[in-house]
A and B are shown apart, each in its own frame.
Chain A
Amino acid sequence: MLKFICPYCQVEADETELTPGGEAHLKRMGPGSSDQEFYNYLFERKNPRGIHFERWLHSYGCGKWFHVVRCTKTMEVFGTYSAQENNPPKKILDIVKKRISFGKKIK
């Protein structure tokens, strides 16, 4: 049962309070985009076996969407940040880099 700290209300929320929202930072394509670009936006996903940047909703809490950086293999959480940030904050990226550079074997 995962838990994340909601960056808005600071509650350490159990998974049962949350709704998963898939890959984060997708660039929305609308009218004017090519079929390939539109397909990429709607369907293509990184789906990594490792560090994943994803969206979650605090549905049975403050009702806010937020971003989570999590390992899809070990469930380790590297941080959470607001949904209105288009890029992961440097602080979290540094933690991730450090972790990967320790040669952590994610098999």
Chain B
Amino acid sequence: MTSRFSKGGRLIDRTKRLSFKFNGKNLFAYGGDTLASALLANNQVLIGRSFKYHRPRGIVSSGIEEPNALVSLGSGGSFEPNRSATTIELFDGVEATSQNHLGSLEWDIGSVNNLISKIFPAGFYYKTFINPRFAWKHIFEPTIRSAAGLGKAPKEEDGSSYDYFYAHLDVVIIGAGITGLVAANNLAKSGLKILLVEQKHFLGGYALSEEFKINNSNSFEFIKKLENELSNFENIIVKKNFSIIGIHDHSYLIGSENMEQMERNCQSSIRQRLWRIRAKHVILATGAIERPLVFAGNDIPGVMLCSAALEFYKLYGVSSGDRVVVLSNNDSAYSTVIELFNAGISVSLVIDVREKSDGNLPLKAKELGIRVEFNKAISKVIGKKKVKAVEVCSVVGEGAVLETIICDSVLMSGGWTSTLNLWSHCGGKIKWDSKLNTLVPDESFPSINEFGRSFITVLGSANGQFWPSDLFANIEKKLSRLYGELNLKKTKTLRFDINKNTNGETSSIFCVPEAADENLKAKSFVDYQNDVKLTDLRIAAQEGFESVEHLKRYTTLGMATDQGKLSNINGIQILANLLGKEINEVGTTTFRPPYTPISLGSIAGEARKELFKPIRRTPIHNWHQENGAIFEPVADWQRPYAYKGNNETLEEAIHREVKNTRNALGMLDASTLGKIIVSGTNAGEFLDLIYTNMMSSLKPGRCRYGLMCNENGFLFDDGVVARLDEKTFLCHTTTGGSDRVYSWMEEWHQTEWWDKKVFIQNLTEEYTQITIAGPKARLLLEKLGGLKVDNVNFKPLDFFEGKLGNFEVRVFRISFSGELSFEIAVPSKNGIAFWMRCLELGRDLGLTPYGTEALHIMRAEKGFIMIGDETDGTVIPQDLNLEWAISKKKKDFIGKRAHERIFMQDTNRKTLVGLSLKNSTKKIPDGAYALKSGGKGAKDVLGHITSSYFSPTLDKPIAMALLKNGKSLKGQEVDIPVDNGNILKATVVEPQFFDIEGKRQNV
């Protein structure tokens, strides 16, 4: 059984008692425990069930690489699935539940999968569920899907907050184990801005457990000293609970700072903080992760990594078992063996798969009287929900049992794999070193920064230097190279006095016994979480999935939440063996961010709900809101769609607005439309190139409706241009076009026609613009007073600047509704005041505001086009009967050449027409298509309806459409299929329905 020692445990505080729940059971632990150490202290060995076969699983590691001990934490807005128990700092009141079982954890009905696991090897689903066809959708897939997933989804909204942080640094040191701490100390005096980060909640890494002597002190004390010294330097920031999860191009790092504990203790309102870091140089001191060995039953609860057992003992005072058997292919396991032995644990046997080892540690173990057997292996672990015994066999052969040893803990060590993910995120290559039996960075293909230079230095275990003496030699060498690169004066590097030990080699045997039969292979796990066994890899190779990427995808090895930290290397080694190739031939998979999973909430940060995207508001916005406006989003703006009273439907409101504007007086907030000033000596010439019309001939004080095409010839924006004076034009654009047209003009000016002397300014937000429209429009302006507004002095398309009712204004006599209409611009700071003044004076005239929908109906009644409805990115002005707006005199303008292409001249192009419905009170549905009368399918399609409304002015539906060779269809009938197989019949007419001579706007 697993239990707590009566003393010891570097990180726990035995005076602080914590209570927590696991699957509803009340348990106790100490401050400083992780959930994993707390569970082990309470003899809770079975923690969860595996993904596919629902096999009982327990804790295998002590860090982020944990594949098995996944729990769901919390409830409600703080519910979180799939948390690994080894990384949860325990706090009082934790509620954790196990995952992925039907029924209880102990008696999981899903474990029936395990019994028939032979039928379900990796990739079995590709070979079956093919027939009958309907069964995949209705039976097989739903079954698979409901069995899938590990934890349940959170049901409530996330109650936590997340934010961002930005940092510009000279050096980022990733990993504050002994290597990172030494590197930081070394660089501290240089004055460089340094960030030292550590993903665990404590510094010192594995050296806190696997102690050694350095400079005559214990490594543990040495680390404390380094920590304290660092706090003296202002130029170094040290962060715990901080993972660098990705290194991106141009030395941009993303870091995730976990503030969960502080959030819980109400010391922080933020749960996680995402750091965006630019670092001139990166030091990877990310250490190494121990590999499991592959043997039958290596997934049974109680089988654990040696380093994990050592950490549980040294850091948390927890014993992983009373009777331990150790299986190893290297010397490092013996550190664990000796420490546990000295703690009084019974180490029944150390099984070493190697022939021998000359190392100090195995020798010491022997001296202590610990039983060590070389050339041996484990044939099988006995036990279902926990380890009961092991069967010992020879390394060679198929696993004939030589001895059965009763035990409750199997500790394994398959060697160490350097953690080099971050080295390769930006293209750096990694290779396998068959002497060290680990990955090493390929220094001839490093990740490079924007200058084409390597910017990552790898130190310590991450560089394959696992033993303390080698480690420090390596640090010294590499740091002196780094000094050169950073142009630093060489400060005296700290001297380290470490005993050089003899260390035996790590064997390349990791899969035992070497000739295991199929039954044993079928119980030897390579990827724990995804239940990938040795037999699966064999099947994959046998079926030709020989590239490591294919292997991964076919077997799902390495694709679980632990991202293959314990399984990738073993998988690659097995594949190489199966194919008879070297590991470097087979290749390693590409490492990509994130290094560890990070919450989606932390990626989104604060940009959620109201802050998801900024809203642009006009100065009149609050008034709109208070007066019943229903808003519609247009680009980033909110525009009133209509003003709905309490006693009317939306449609009634819109019709009321239309009628009122046509019969009396209406007012619209047009502030969102673009206002771009183009001024300068060459302003006219410049605009001649931008618009299809001739703008340079526009006289000061006059307005002209202009069209803009792109170089491909398609109409993309329209608006009225007013000439303010000789050198100054004011261009109006659509709402969605304001920023786009401004950028467009700047682009052409800066990159093509920079010889033209013009200034371009986007003044959209500087002015509130209000449309006063209706037969009584002039009366309101007269009431305001200050400008001559009779028909002689203020003609249609005139522009005046002056005062109206004590407000500085620009007034344009332009009409989109077809009524007598003035658009009045006031500086934004006066916007709401002007609006209110108009309301006040207009009350007696029947002035009411109208929204965008009323405007759209009115313009459609007049046959005016709207960008985005009559245009869709494939329409040219000629299609819309707007040839009159295209200057024939100009030699060149944007789009002119495009119009000359063959397809643009085709008479069968869709052109704009109107549609009149027979016998209908309902409008044609939006977006409907028109076919030849009596037509059936696609070949009879004439075109589509671009705008469709019910006109309250005419009391009938109106519509405009783009139909092939529209002119030739005038007077003809067309069919419009709508829902439910019905067909509307419409007649093709001119696309103007009301006041065709345009009399009303010219009064």
Direct contact of A and B (CB under 8 A): yes
Question: A interface vs B, CB < 8 Å?
Answer: 1-3, 19, 21, 28-31, 33, 35, 38, 42, 55, 57, 59, 63-65, 74-77, 83-84, 99
22 contacts between A and B (CB under 8 A): A1-B248, A1-B249, A1-B250, A2-B450, A3-B250, A42-B711, A55-B751, A59-B743, A63-B746, A64-B750, A65-B746, A65-B751, A74-B448, A75-B249, A75-B450, A76-B448, A77-B250, A77-B450, A77-B451, A83-B750, A83-B754, A84-B751
B752 at the interface (CB under 8 A from A): yes
Residues in A with CB closer than 8 Å to B872 are: none
Q: Mark B727-751, 1 if CB is under 8 A from A, else 0.
A: 0000000000000000100110011
Complex Cα gap A75–B452 (Å): 8
Residues in B with CB closer than 8 Å to A64 are: 750
A84 and B754: CB pair below 8 A? yes
Complex Cα gap A28–B752 (Å): 8
Residue of B nearest to A33 (CB): B897
A21 and B747: CB pair below 8 A? yes
Beyond contacts A1-B248, A29-B897, A30-B896: 6 other A-B pairs, Cβ-Cβ < 8 A, are A1-B250, A31-B900, A74-B427, A76-B450, A83-B751, A84-B750
Residues in B with CB closer than 8 Å to A84 are: 750-751, 754
Q: Mark B692-735, 1 if CB is under 8 A from A, else 0.
A: 00000000000000000001100000000000000000000000
A30 → chain B closest CB, angstroms: 5
Residue of B nearest to A1 (CB): B252
B837 at the interface (CB under 8 A from A): no
**A38-B897, A74-B427 are known contacts. Are A31 and B891 too (CB-CB below 8 A)?**
yes
B442 → chain A closest CB, angstroms: 13
Residues in A with CB closer than 8 Å to B891 are: 31
B664 at the interface (CB under 8 A from A): no
A30 and B743: CB pair below 8 A? no
A84 → chain B closest CB, angstroms: 5
Complex Cα gap A19–B896 (Å): 27
Residues in B with CB closer than 8 Å to A38 are: 897-898, 901
Residues in B with CB closer than 8 Å to A29 are: 897
Complex Cα gap A28–B900 (Å): 16
Within 8 A of A (CB), among B890-931: 891-892, 896-898, 900-902
Complex Cα gap A76–B426 (Å): 11
A3 → chain B closest CB, angstroms: 5
A99 and B452: CB pair below 8 A? yes
Within 8 A of A (CB), among B726-783: 743, 746-747, 750-752, 754
A75 and B751: CB pair below 8 A? no
Within 8 A of A (CB), among B256-281: 276, 278
B533 → chain A closest CB, angstroms: 35
B988 → chain A closest CB, angstroms: 33
Complex Cα gap A74–B449 (Å): 9
B249 → chain A closest CB, angstroms: 4
Complex Cα gap A55–B750 (Å): 11
Complex Cα gap A92–B746 (Å): 26
Complex Cα gap A87–B276 (Å): 35
Residues in A with CB closer than 8 Å to B276 are: 1
Residues in A with CB closer than 8 Å to B900 are: 31
B833 → chain A closest CB, angstroms: 32
Residues in B with CB closer than 8 Å to A21 are: 747, 751
Residue of A nearest to B449 (CB): A76
Residue of B nearest to A41 (CB): B711
A2 and B901: CB pair below 8 A? no
A10 → chain B closest CB, angstroms: 16
A74 and B452: CB pair below 8 A? yes
Within 8 A of A (CB), among B452-504: 452
Residues in A with CB closer than 8 Å to B712 are: 42
B896 and A3: CB pair below 8 A? no
Complex Cα gap A31–B891 (Å): 7
4 shortest A-B CB distances, which residue pairs? A1-B252, A76-B452, A75-B249, A77-B450
B274 → chain A closest CB, angstroms: 13
Complex Cα gap A22–B559 (Å): 36
B711 and A31: CB pair below 8 A? no
Residues in A with CB closer than 8 Å to B278 are: 3
Residues in A with CB closer than 8 Å to B751 are: 21, 55, 65, 83-84
Q: Mark B101-133, 1 if CB is under 8 A from A, else 0.
A: 000000000000000000000000000000000
Residues in A with CB closer than 8 Å to B450 are: 2-3, 75-77
B251 → chain A closest CB, angstroms: 9
A58 → chain B closest CB, angstroms: 11
A24 → chain B closest CB, angstroms: 9
Complex Cα gap A33–B252 (Å): 45
A65 touches which of B711, B750, B898 (Cβ 8 Å) = B750
A2 and B897: CB pair below 8 A? no
Residues in A with CB closer than 8 Å to B902 are: 35
A31 and B897: CB pair below 8 A? yes
Within 8 A of A (CB), among B786-837: none
A30 touches which of B746, B892, B901 (Cβ 8 Å) = B892
Residues in A with CB closer than 8 Å to B896 are: 30-31
Complex Cα gap A84–B747 (Å): 11
Residue of B nearest to A67 (CB): B751
Complex Cα gap A3–B249 (Å): 9
**A31-B900, A33-B897, A74-B452 are known contacts. Are A2 and B249 too (CB-CB below 8 A)?**
yes
B593 → chain A closest CB, angstroms: 12
B271 → chain A closest CB, angstroms: 24
A31 and B892: CB pair below 8 A? yes
Within 8 A of A (CB), among B400-437: 426-427
Residue of A nearest to B426 (CB): A75
Complex Cα gap A33–B896 (Å): 11
Complex Cα gap A76–B276 (Å): 20
Residues in A with CB closer than 8 Å to B901 are: 35, 38
Complex Cα gap A35–B743 (Å): 28
A42 → chain B closest CB, angstroms: 6
Residue of B nearest to A70 (CB): B450
Residues in A with CB closer than 8 Å to B448 are: 74, 76
Complex Cα gap A3–B252 (Å): 9
**A42-B711, A75-B450 are known contacts. Are A57 and B897 too (CB-CB below 8 A)?**
no
Complex Cα gap A68–B877 (Å): 36
B249 and A57: CB pair below 8 A? no
Complex Cα gap A64–B897 (Å): 27
Residue of A nearest to B450 (CB): A77
Residues in B with CB closer than 8 Å to A75 are: 249-250, 426, 450
Complex Cα gap A55–B426 (Å): 23
A53 → chain B closest CB, angstroms: 13
Residues in B with CB closer than 8 Å to A1 are: 248-250, 252, 276
Residues in A with CB closer than 8 Å to B754 are: 83-84
A18 → chain B closest CB, angstroms: 12
Among the interface residues B249, B451, B754, B892, which one has the most CB atoms of the partner chain A within 10 A? B249
B747 and A57: CB pair below 8 A? yes
Complex Cα gap A19–B754 (Å): 20
Residue of A nearest to B895 (CB): A30
Residues in B with CB closer than 8 Å to A59 are: 743
Complex Cα gap A77–B452 (Å): 8
A76 and B451: CB pair below 8 A? yes
Complex Cα gap A65–B896 (Å): 25
A11 → chain B closest CB, angstroms: 13
Residue of A nearest to B746 (CB): A63
Residues in B with CB closer than 8 Å to A99 are: 452
A15 → chain B closest CB, angstroms: 8
Residues in A with CB closer than 8 Å to B249 are: 1-2, 75
B695 → chain A closest CB, angstroms: 18
Complex Cα gap A93–B276 (Å): 33
Complex Cα gap A42–B904 (Å): 15
Among the interface residues B712, B747, B750, which one has the most CB atoms of the partner chain A within 10 A? B750
Complex Cα gap A35–B902 (Å): 9
Complex Cα gap A33–B752 (Å): 17
Residues in B with CB closer than 8 Å to A42 are: 711-712, 898
Complex Cα gap A21–B744 (Å): 11
A43 → chain B closest CB, angstroms: 9
B664 → chain A closest CB, angstroms: 45
B647 → chain A closest CB, angstroms: 47
